[in-house]
A and B are shown apart, each in its own frame.
Chain A
Amino acid sequence: MNANSGILSYGAYIPRLRLQRSAIFAANAWFAAGLKGLAMGERAIANWDEDSVTMAVEAARDCLTGFDRGTVTALSLASTTHPFADRLNSGIVKEALTLSDSISALDVAGSQRAGTSSLIQALNAGVNGGTQLCVASELRKARPASEGELVQGDAAAAILVGAGDPIARFIGSHSVTLDFVDHFRASGADFDYTWESRWIRDEGYSMLLGDALAAAIETLVVDPAKIDRLLIPITVRGVPEGLAKKLGVPAAAVADTLAPNVGDSGVAHPLLMLAAALEQARPGETIMLVGFGQGCDVLLFETTEAIANLPRRDGFSGALARGKADENYLRFLFHRGLLDLDRGMRAEADQKQPGTTLFRNRKTVLGLVGGRCTKTGTVQFPRSEISVNPTDRAIGTQEDYPLAEKQARIVTYTADSLTYSPAPPQYYGMIDFEGGGRMFTEFADVDAESIEVGLAMKMMFRIKAVDEKRDFIKYFWKAVPVQQPAAGE
């Protein structure tokens, strides 16, 4: 539709822990023996300190690799699991990414295709829309011993859209909307209620989606045989292959649904698959992307020469490789609030967050912005009126100095088994940033055997604490090891 606009960049985030489906099934087999057929592979699970906001931040950071963040003019966060019903979730993401205050931001919700729908909106805005960051993120929540618990996964993906030199041109899209209630979740409810899978497969995937894809192929005037990648985020075995066959799309074009090692990440899934596809795509490829939920979205892209020049990033494959196999099903239940462990008196500490303090310090807290003395170059966190430099206590000379993208090294550490943590022991210590500045911080995603003074760390946006009395989530940054062994190592 607009030859000059399209996808500028992509990013992905998959939480590190990969819960083995065999462990889920083993715990529930006595009750739900019928789940055995799904007890293969692993699913991504967010840690206790991750949610759809923190995962969105990580995917967005990956997506913005090599881009000037000052150019972003709009941000959207699509999810059906926004942590806040009334506090702009994308506003938190904006602060964490230290984007300009002068941007628009929007939370998009309501269906599993919220991610593709918001992407279509951004792409259709064309050059007038500026540079738009479309993020989709989902922290799935399913009842224990449900099918969803096995097939779902947590993840986030981000797509940067705008004018300039796109890596994939947007050819166009086709959408249909039908109140097809394959599942639903009322406002405030924790879990989905799902109708019979045979009906969803036949009426939903084969008919509704099949017809929409056929219509899209006709409307967008594309030869199905020339589609290089068909991204259908339906993890039910055989569905994408069946649709491709019916439409005349080559079997080889059917993209991996990431069912074996990530799971269906809901709203994030189409964008995650798109990020995975773009990572592998060469110039001149035709990519068809689908979003399904009370109707469907079909988007068509063609990659350009620019895709070969995109700066390196962790991307989907990096996020996937970061995985660590996890067999601890009870811990997973606890972290999802589905197991009420005795947490002890130390967990009773009041986490009340004054709104005034948070707003005043939002750059420090949410953006991890420190200070740099313009006179001496001293970097410090947090910034202060009077410099920490013992040789020059310069007053009022500090400028903002973002630290989130700086690597760091461990100076001191411990594994604390006494303090309350949902995932004991709690690792924390002091780190020195490359280029100056140090901080005393919590660590996340640490392996007991590899932690040592000098270990390279990077920062990640995480939940620091939850005020359970008032339902408020306190976010901050934690240090995680830079190089993490792949699963099984």
Chain B
Amino acid sequence: MAKGIKDKVAILGMGCAKFGERWDKDAEQLAVEAFQEAIADAGIDTSQIDAAWLSVAFDAVNIGPSGIPLATALRLPNIGVTKVENYCASGTEAFRGAVYAVASGAADIALAVGVEKLKDTGYGGLPVRTRGSTFDMIGVTGSAPGNFAQLAAAYRNAHGVSKDDLKLAMAHVSVKSHANGAKNPKAHLRKLIDIDTVMNAPMIADPLGLFDCCGVSDGAACAIVTTPEIAHTLGKRDLVTVKALQIVTSNGWESQGTGWNGSYFHTTRTAAVKAYAEAGVTNPRDEISLIEVHDCFSITELVTMEDLYISPEGEGWKDVLNGFFDADGKVPCQIDGGLKCFGHPIGASGLRMIYENYLQLLGRAGERQRSTPPRLALSHNLGGMPNQNVSAVAIVGLPDA
């Protein structure tokens, strides 16, 4: 295996727009909002940026198929701007582009911006879209909750968990994220909820009720990266470095081959193993300080705890119920509210997770700051559906972690 990029790249600055129903702004304006915070944090001028990556997942309701809108909105200095799209993992994909450009030496300073304008569709949930004319003839155009809901039946079947136990654990996931989101001024959903509300909510895709589903939001997030050396030269003292960055893409085995039982993410397990190897993590349950995962649905978060090897297989639901992932638990998960409450502007989500981890590592997370000082933080960003997806794992940490 390649020796990886551990500590070769540092985060110079990050920014994040207020997520939510941003009726007031276009995608370009949201990008500017996130960028202004990031560039101020980085303490550089736009002219110092060598290359940029832009992640957006939905062409039709956004900005079209190129990097031009970002270059124009930010008035970037005629540099390469690459638009990337990898379903809901697009944000981490953009981050990877910028990080790899710096790690390779091709760029000194690189920019990653993720943005999504979902609330111009006219309806709730994600827009219906084609997956190509061949797929559309034989595939299922289900909704996102419908695709992810299938994890639940398969998980119950694989581990002998009752419907009621699993539904309760799923409810705990959402209640916890709402408690966290309530403390986050940039979060889309900031209301506390209780278990009964989750359990009795209208069914969206069995067994996922309304509160098992994350918010669908407008928003943008931004990272500016460079090498640790350049960061020092620029006067940056509080560094967060990239420890690992892995993206794993399904090759059809889950959906066409033999052996996958539908209860877990094959890609996430593979990405986690690779990321831990790259970061030098041997016991994630003890070594990872906090995690941001792709909690598009409560059940996704629950099984991901196992796929990241934080919880033993089949036991994740017990850790959830025991509060292991609560804000005051052993390994907080979604301390910012997660996709569930911070919101899920697709192209921005992966960068938003890294933004939160960055703030937490630097002790800048305000009211929701983790009391135990975190050292290594993991983000998991997933695109697609359980049987065919892109899974990204990024680990960032303090330079000596």
- A430 interfacial contact with B, CB 8 Å: yes
Kindly identify which residue among B145, B156, B262 contacts A418, using a CB–CB cutoff of 8 Å.
Answer: B145
Among A350, A411, A420, A442, the residue within 8 A (CB) of B262 is A411
Contact across chains for B154 and A438 when beta carbons are under 8 A apart: no
Q: Which of B129, B147, B251 has the most CB of A within 10 A?
A: B147
Contact call B204/A418, Cβ cutoff below 8 A: yes
Contact among B123, B153, B387 for A344, CB-based, below 8 A: B123
B50 to chain A, nearest CB (A): 38
Chain B residues in 8 Å Cβ range of A412: 150-151, 153-154, 262, 386-387
What 1/0 flags go to A401-430 for Cβ under 8 Å of B? 000000000011111111110000110111
Cα–Cα, bound, A415→B138 (Å): 19
Other-chain contact of B205, A344, A378, A381, A414 (Cβ < 8 Å): A414
**Residues in chain A near residue B252, CB distance under 8 A:** 384, 388
Q: In the complex the two chains form, what is the Cα distance from A102 to B262 in whole Å?
A: 41
- The answer on a CB contact under 8 Å between A388 and B123 is no
Contact of A414 among B125, B130, B138, B150 (CB under 8 A): B150
Min distance, Cβ B131 to any Cβ of chain A, angstroms: 12
User: Chain A's nearest CB lies how many Å from the CB of B368?
Assistant: 31
**A428 is contacted by which of B140, B251, B257 (Cβ under 8 Å)?**
B140
- Residue pair B146, A345 in contact (C-beta under 8 Å): no
List the B side residues contacting A357 at CB < 8 Å: 133-134, 137
A358 x B154 contact (CB < 8 A): no
Q: Which residues of A contact B125 (CB under 8 A)?
A: 418
Chain A contacts of B256 at CB under 8 A?
380-381, 384, 388, 437-439
Interface string of A431-453 (1 = CB under 8 A from B): 01000111111100000000011
Residues of A within 8 Å of B150, CB to CB, are 412-414, 429-430
- Asked if A411 contacts B146 (CB within 8 A), the reply is no
Does chain A have a CB within 8 A of B376?
no
Output the nearest chain B residue to A383 by Cβ-Cβ distance.
B256
Determine the chain B residues whose CB is within 8 A of the CB of A419 once the complex forms.
Answer: 128, 141-143, 146
The answer to whether A361 touches B134, judged by C-beta atoms less than 8 angstroms apart, is yes
Which residues of B lie under 8 Å from residue A416 when comparing CB positions?
Answer: 142-143, 145-146, 149, 204-206
| Distance in Å: Cβ of B42 to nearest Cβ of chain A | 40
Question: B72 at interface (Cβ–Cβ under 8 A)?
Answer: no
The answer to the question of A283 belonging to the interface, with a C-beta cut-off of 8 Å to chain B, is: no
Query: Is the CB of B235 closer than 8 A to any CB of chain A?
Result: no
Query: Which of the listed residues A344, A361, A390, A429 has the most CB atoms from chain B within 10 Å of its own CB?
Result: A429
CA–CA, A202 to B131, complex, Å?
A: 59
**Contact assessment for B146 and A414 in the assembled complex, using a CB-CB cutoff below 8 Å:** yes
Q: How far is the CA of A341 from the CA of B253 in the complex (A)?
A: 40
Q: Is there contact, CB below 8 Å, between A388 and B261?
A: no
Quick one: which of A357, A389, A440 has the most chain B CB within 10 A?
A440
Q: Does A353 contact B (CB under 8 A)?
A: yes
A10 and B386 CA atoms in complex are apart in Å by: 43
Q: Is A130 an interface residue (CB 8 A)?
A: no
Decide: A474 near B137, CB < 8 A? Known: A346-B128, A417-B203: yes
Separation in Å of the B253 CB from the closest CB of chain A?
6
Interface residues of A in 438-470 (CB under 8 A from B): 438-442, 452-454, 464
Contact of A453 among B153, B251, B257 (CB under 8 A): B153
Which residues in chain B, 147-205, are within 8 Å of chain A measured between CB atoms? 147, 149-151, 153-154, 156-157, 203-205
The A interface, classified by DSSP as helix, strand, loop or mixed, is mixed
In the complex, chain A residues 365-384 whose Cβ is within 8 Å of any chain B Cβ: 365, 378, 380-382, 384
A301 located at the interface, meaning its Cβ lies under 8 Å from any Cβ of chain B in the complex: no
Nearest B residue to A389, CB-CB: B257
| In the complex, chain A residues whose CB is within 8 Å of the CB of B206 | 414-417, 425
A382 touches which of B138, B151, B257 (Cβ 8 Å): B138
Given the interface pairs A361-B137, A419-B142, A441-B140, the reply to whether A414 lies near B149 with Cβ below 8 Å is yes
A385-398: CB near B (< 8 Å → 1, else 0) gives 00011100000000
Interchain nearest-CB distance for A421 vs B (Å): 9
Q: Which of B89-132 contact A (CB under 8 A)?
A: 121-123, 125, 128-130
B253 close to A426 (CB less than 8 A): no
| Assembly CA distance A384 to B145 (angstroms) | 29
**Beta-carbon contact of B138 and A365 below 8 Å:** yes
| Residue of B whose beta carbon sits closest to that of A410 | B153
**Inter-subunit contact A428/B146 (CB<8 Å):** yes
Interface contact B137-A464, CB-CB below 8 Å: yes
**Complex: chain A residue closest to B132, CB-CB:** A357
Contact B255 A438, beta carbon cutoff 8 Å: yes
Say if the beta carbon of A257 comes within 8 Å of chain B: no
Given the complex of chains A and B, what is the CA–CA distance between A1 and B368 in angstroms? 91
**CA–CA, A428 to B138, complex, Å?**
13
A453 to B154, Cβ gap below 8 A? Answer: yes
Selected contact of B123 from candidates A346, A353, A453, CB within 8 Å: A346
Considering only CB atoms, which chain A residue lies closest to B257 in the complex? A388
Partner of A345, one of B123, B143, B251: B123
B137 to chain A, nearest CB (A): 5
B122 touches A345 (CB 8 A): yes
The answer for the CA separation of A365 and B143 in the assembled complex, in Å, is: 22
- Chain A contacts of B138 at CB under 8 A? 361, 364-365, 382, 439, 476
Whether a CB of chain B sits under 8 angstroms from the CB of A189 is: no
A238 within 8 A of B: no
Contact B140 A452 (CB under 8 A): no
Is B258 part of the binding interface, using a Cβ–Cβ cutoff of 8 Å?
yes
List 18 A–B pairs whose Cβ atoms lie within 8 Å, in order of A's numbering: A346-B123, A350-B130, A361-B134, A361-B138, A382-B138, A384-B256, A414-B147, A414-B206, A415-B205, A416-B143, A417-B204, A419-B142, A426-B146, A438-B258, A440-B139, A453-B153, A453-B157, A454-B157
A418-B205, A425-B206 given; name 11 further pairs at CB < 8 Å: A361-B134, A388-B256, A390-B257, A412-B262, A412-B386, A413-B150, A414-B149, A418-B145, A419-B142, A430-B262, A437-B256
User: Nearest 10 A-B pairs (CB), nearest first?
Assistant: A416-B146, A412-B150, A412-B262, A418-B143, A414-B149, A419-B143, A415-B206, A453-B157, A349-B128, A416-B205
